Amino acid sequence: MDGILPLWKERGMTSHDCVFKLRKILQTKKVGHGGTLDPDVDGVLPICIGKGTKVIEYLQDSGKIYEGEITLGFSTTTEDRSGEVVETRAVEQPLSIEEIDQMMATFIGTIKQIPPMYSAVKVNGKRLYEYARAGETVERPERKAVIESFKRTTEPVYDEANKTQSWRFQVTCGKGTYVRTLAVDLGEKLGYPAHMSDLTRLASGGFSVGQAATLAQVSELMEKGQIDQALQPIEEAMKEFPRIDLTDADWQKVKNGQVLPMKAFGIKQMPGELIAFFYNDQLVSLYGQHPEKNWLLKPSKVIRNEVSPASHSLSDNE
């Protein structure tokens, strides 16, 4: 069983919980996830199975889309609604839509973030959440994040009784972005302590809500022998990579891991960090530029040494 399963992770479970349960359901140990989701967050979690585990790192590096809610008026230890309140400031006068939208627009582009204490970032060989649980604080490294889009999707709601203001948003962002921190930093710019009061991941690794199946649905498909209905081919994870379709002669070289001249494929300069080599419409290898001889291509990761027959394959003359 090889492929990628876009899983709909339900709230209350860790990403590791999902992997543990799927190993039992799918009856295979070769299962891994392509991007952690916090227990309080639901949404799309790409699960790699069999040879699909070879592309986990590329799924983790891909962009993501979230929708959620920001609440002004108080902040928490975890930067979301599950934490303890650490700072409050009553919103006496609700902010205008113009103020909110203008400030949200300032986050588009490359920004700097300091990861939350309750996160898996390692400092001195120890994860930040381990320090946090022990009541310790540690200097956190600043990181860069890319925000492609950050927009309000509902009218702001003012809670006069609790003196808070909330609105829903959608964000499209690059790898390593902490949406919780985005909410906190936005609040700070608006002059209030804030937290992320709700979050759902709509897309990750090129897979979206419409393709995702719950654990219960996966279990049912497995019992019926129809698990293929939920699986996406490994090739789907690499569809954004520059692609080269190999001739029969090229395939013999690639399957043996040979270093190849760029000019053999008409390449003058790398179209990206990696090139995806396909044979018989199947992803077989990822090649990158040779670190010393920049006119050569060197295998970065072998996906398949063997391919199944196809109805049409490229000849050397095509």
**In this structure, are residues 156 and 95 in contact, taking their beta carbons and an 8 Å threshold?**
yes
Q: How far apart are CA 183 and CA 63, in angstroms?
A: 18
Q: Is 185 a catalytic residue?
A: no
Conformation bin of residue 105: beta by default, left when phi > 0, alpha when psi is -120 to 50: alpha
Q: Which of 2, 17, 38, 61 is catalytic?
A: 38
Give the residue numbers marked as catalytic. Answer: 38
